[in-house]
């Protein structure tokens, strides 16, 4: 058993018990540690995180198309022909079967959208480039097997979603979109109101059920085995819900990010955790963690438009002032 895993085992157990208490039983821990052990990579090369030479290209799987060819095959040809000496990492936005939101309403986390290609096409790209995958962790498509099972009150899925009484106090919930917090669905046991942060097609997962987190860990390890060097945690800020609160940036959410970081360091210490939180700068910085033990990278959404403005106008005043302001905020920040 690798030393890092042996040292981390008790820490992982304690951390899970702090979040879930008695809901973390012997069976859960046994299965989780078995899952970890099955996925630990034997890393013989030096740790590879990132430096100034690591340039990331972000693209949809079908951003480039060629007639009578799967888009992922075309993307591989384009990257190899034009960018092999220019970039190190390709971030292919969700390339899984989906039902809406440009891929961010995932139907099946384990499959490649057949309209784009196959896993072997992802593997071919990975031969020349490192990869970033999206772990769309907050929600899943209403067309997914899990949610269809929920409607039929079957497992797996029956207890994977957040059923909430319409009388619950949701007045303080932070809304990223104008759609309702709750959406009504007819199940075999009658009408149920479920939490839908982003749309009626994107059903929020219930992380108060530790077995949901277990399934997410299984998906995380699968992506690592498929070559992901960077894991982008999509919409992570909204992960844990609690009526009567803003349901954003809750302590449990930060605790789960910390757990994901711990597990990836055990399974493959070269993997980088990146959080996607489109929120004010100080809130964004909080995802580094109090002891820098959460995300290793965070999105900085204001930077791209500032950079484009600078390139377009030839004036650097806004980007310089913005970065100076961020540095001052970071110096004052107490995560």
Query: Over the stretch 305-329, which tens digit does the pLDDT of each residue have?
Result: 888 999 999 999 988 887 787 777 6
Residue 111 CB neighbours (<10 A)? 13
pLDDT value, residue 133: 98
Task: Choose the weakest-confidence range: 62-66, 163-167, 187-191, 324-328.
Answer: 324-328
> H or E stretch including 237?
none
Going by C-beta distance under 8 Å and a sequence separation of 6 or more, which residues neighbour residue 328? none
Of 6 and 288, the structure prediction assigns the larger pLDDT to: 288
Global pTM reads 0.94
Residue 55, pLDDT score = 95
Q: Which of 130, 201, 204, 234 is labelled catalytic?
A: 234
**Bridge-partner residues for 147, per DSSP?**
none
- Mean pLDDT for the stretch of residues 276-290: 92
The fraction of the chain above a pLDDT of 70, given in percent, is 95
Q: Which residues 6+ apart lie within 8 Å of 86 measured at CB? A: 55
What are the start-end ranges of the E strands in 93-211? 130-135, 139-141, 182-187, 190-195, 202-204
Q: What is the pLDDT of residues 180-231, one digit of tens each?
A: 999 999 999 999 999 999 999 999 999 999 999 999 999 999 999 999 999 9
Side-chain-side CA neighbours of 324 within 13 Å: the count stands at 6
Beta bridge partners of 141: 202
Cβ atoms of residues 56 and 91 within 8 Å: yes
- pLDDT of 94 over the 80 cut: yes
Residue 319 vs residues 276, 304, 308: alpha-carbon distances, Å: 21, 10, 10
Reference 303, options 333, 334, 326; nearest CA is 326
Assess whether 234 carries a catalytic annotation.
yes
Cβ neighbors of 219 (< 8 A, separation 6 or more) are 109, 110, 135
CA 135, 137, 138, 143 torsion-angle sign: positive
Per-residue confidence (pLDDT) for residue 333, from 0 to 100: 60
| Bridge partners (DSSP) listed for residue 135 | 233
Report how far residue 208's alpha carbon sits from residue 52's, in angstroms, rounded to the nearest whole number: 39
**In terms of pLDDT, which residue wins out, 332 or 39?**
39
Element (H, E) at 275: strand 272-275
3-class state of residue 242 by DSSP: coil
Q: What is the per-residue pLDDT for 47?
A: 82
Q: What's the whole-number mean pLDDT along residues 260-284?
A: 94
Distances (CA, A) of 144 to 137, 164, 239: 14, 20, 19
pLDDT number for residue 48: 81
202-204 and 139-141 strand pairing: antiparallel
Nearest Cα residue to 276 out of 199, 198, 329, 195: 198
């Amino acid at each position: 058993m690798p030393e890092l895993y042996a040292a981390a085992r008790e820490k992982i157990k304690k951390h899970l018990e702090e979040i879930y208490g008695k809901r973390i039983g012997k069976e859960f821990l046994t299965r989780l540690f078995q899952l970890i052990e099955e996925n630990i990579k034997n890393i013989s090369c030096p740790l590879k995180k990132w430096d100034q030479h690591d340039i990331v290209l972000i693209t949809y799987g079908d951003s480039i198309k060629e007639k009578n060819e799967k888009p992922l095959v075309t993307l591989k040809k384009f990257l190899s022909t034009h960018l092999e000496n220019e970039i190190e990492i390709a971030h292919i936005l969700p390339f899984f079967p989906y039902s809406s939101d440009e891929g961010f309403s995932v139907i099946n986390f384990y499959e490649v959208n057949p309209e784009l290609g196959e896993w072997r096409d992802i593997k071919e790209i990975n031969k020349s480039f490192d990869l970033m995958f999206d772990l769309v962790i907050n929600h899943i498509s209403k067309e997914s097997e899990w949610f269809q099972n929920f409607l039929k009150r079957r497992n797996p899925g029956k207890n994977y979603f957040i059923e909430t009484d319409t009388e619950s106090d949701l007045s303080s919930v932070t809304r990223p979109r104008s759609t309702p917090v709750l959406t009504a669905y007819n199940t075999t046991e009658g009408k149920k109101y479920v939490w839908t942060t982003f749309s009626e097609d994107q059903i929020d997962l219930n992380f108060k059920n530790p077995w949901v987190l277990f399934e997410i860990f299984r998906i995380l390890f699968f992506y690592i085995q498929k070559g992901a060097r960077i894991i982008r945690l999509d919409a992570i800020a909204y992960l844990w819900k609690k009526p009567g609160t803003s349901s954003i940036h809750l302590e449990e959410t930060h605790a789960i990010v910390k757990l994901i970081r711990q597990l990836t360091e055990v399974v493959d210490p070269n993997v980088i955790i990146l959080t996607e939180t489109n929120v004010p700068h100080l809130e964004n910085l909080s995802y580094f963690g109090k002891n820098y033990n959460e995300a290793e990278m965070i999105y900085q959404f204001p930077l791209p438009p500032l950079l484009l403005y600078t390139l377009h106008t030839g004036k650097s005043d806004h980007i310089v002032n913005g970065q100076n302001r961020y540095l001052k905020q970071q110096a004052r920040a107490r995560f």
